Amino acid sequence: MYNECRHIFTSGRKCQSPALKAEDFCYFHHKTRRRPSPANQPYEPYTEPKETTLNLSPLEDADAIQLAISDVVLALAANRIDSRRARILIYGLQVASQNNRHRAAMAAKEAAPIEQTVREAHEHADGTLIGPEKQSPEPEEAAARKRPPSLGEILLRQAEELSARKAEEARLNAETVDAPESAEQTKTFLLPKVLAVADPSHQIATRPQQAPPCCFRTSRKSHQKDKLQRSTCSSPESWPPESRTCPSHR
């Protein structure tokens, strides 16, 4: 960042050129600015009108040249300068106007900064008015801002946007999951009372009891014997309660 020149042109625009370090003006205006006489300086002795000095503003733009032409014409009309001197001054102003037109055409082809009209002015130590202080980026920084982004910068920007989008989705999902849980914790349920009464008209079906495994033999040698024993076994209902096997296999 650098400080801009605070010089104000005749049209009210600010110079905007890089100012010298620790100075308020650029190199050109630091050397060419008119320094008015201090207020406490004694007046110069009176001189004849024909010897009066004609103070013209610096011919730095078209407005300054136009103002200088007006000063020359008014001085000639007031008999402050003679016609020969006026012709010489008008010729010099004509050359300055042509040169300024050529410079303006060249500046239009270049990327010139946007003209800034001064909206406030401050009094300088020399008694003149200057524009407000302002800083502008260096040419390298301005070029970096104007150039298109590289592939790496584009990918990095997309990755940052993707991560931000995922974080936002995760936050929304967490909010949607926490909302029902909190509602379930705060909501109360009233369970109805159910009274069950047995129906005497309904009989529960029971499966018939099977003979215990002791009544069956799987050995091949005693297969025929098992058949005979099964036939001699009585039904389980006729067994005594204290016995777990049929009477024929005790």
Q: What is the mean pLDDT of residues 200-214?
A: 55
Q: What pLDDT was estimated at residue 87?
A: 92
Phi, psi at residue 66, to the nearest 5°? Answer: -65, -40
Is the pLDDT confidence value at 91 over 90? yes
State residue 199's pLDDT score: 62
Q: For 81-99, what is the mean pLDDT?
A: 90
Average of per-residue pLDDT values in the chain? 71
Q: What are phi and psi of 14, to 5 degrees?
A: -95, 150
Lowest mean pLDDT among 15-19, 37-41, 195-199, 246-250: 246-250
What's the token pair of residue 85? 């001197």
- pLDDT band at 217; cut points 50, 70, 90: very low
How much is the pLDDT for 101?
86
Q: Are 160 and 54 in contact (CB under 8 A)?
A: no
When pLDDT is averaged across residues 220-226 and rounded to a whole number, the result is 55
What would the DSSP string read from start to end of the chain? -EEBP--B-TTSBB--SBPPTT-SS-HHHHHH---PPPTTSPPPPP--GGG---------SHHHHHHHHHHHHHHHHTTSS-HHHHHHHHHHHHHHHHHHHHHHHHHHHS-PPPP-B-S--EE-TTS-EE----EE--HHHHHHHHSPPPHHHHHHHHHHHHHHHHHHHHHHHHHHHHHHHHHHHH----PPP------TTPPPP-PPPPPPGGG----STTHHHHHHHHHHPPPGGGS-TT-SS-GGG-
Tokens at 34, concatenated: 């008119």
- Number of other CB atoms surrounding residue 25 within 10 Å: 21
More confident residue, 92 or 192: 92
Q: Contact 209/236 with Cβ under 8 angstroms?
A: yes
Integer Cα distance of 104 and 60 in angstroms: 11
